[in-house]
Amino acid sequence: MRVDGDVGWRGRPAVGGTSGCAHLGELLDVRPLSGVCEACAAGALTWQALLLCRTCGYVGCSDDSRGLHARRHYEWVDHPIVSALGGRGDRGWCYADAMALELPLLRP
Ligand SMILES: [Zn+2]
Ligand SMILES: [Zn+2]
Ligand SMILES: [Zn+2]
């Protein structure tokens, strides 16, 4: 007899044939390329918060900022996973799946 409890990520059974984010394998050990949203800085915009692309290190502003540059970055180059800049990096977001993720910690 099979036990269908602890299957898939976070121990939750898969729903509808998917079991969470398929992009986690694309994560690299990145360093932030800057400490500001350079796209905003170039246009003299301000931002609410900054997000770090966990595929290439691009820094862009969050979805509650006017520039939406982290989301733009995903749309342009298809790097879906971001985490807050300046934090430990363990709380992330996947734009493609629109879901929160637990990520590996960033190197200090
Ligand atoms: Zn994903
Ligand atoms: Zn921006
Ligand atoms: Zn990127």
HEC letters along 33-84: CCCCCHHHHHCCCCCCCEEEECCCCCEEECCCCCCCHHHHHHHHHCCCEEEE
pLDDT for 101 equals: 92
Q: Name the 3-class secondary structure at 25.
A: helix
- d(CA 101, ligand 1 centre) in Å: 9
Cα distance from N-terminal residue to C-terminal residue, the chain = 46
pTM of the predicted model over 0.75: yes
Domain-located, residue 8: no
Domain-located, residue 92: yes
Ligand sitting nearest the alpha carbon of 41? 2
Distance, in Å, from the CA atom of 79 to the CA atom of 85, rounded to the nearest integer, reads 16
Identify the CATH number of the domain in which residue 82 sits.
Answer: 3.30.40.10
- d(CA 70, ligand 3 centre) in Å: 9
Mean pLDDT (10-residue bins), the chain, 108 residues: 43 46 89 96 96 97 97 97 93 95 87
Number of domains in the chain: 1
Domain-located, residue 56: yes
Ligand sitting nearest the alpha carbon of 72? 2
Domain-located, residue 3: no
Domain-located, residue 59: yes
Domain-located, residue 15: no
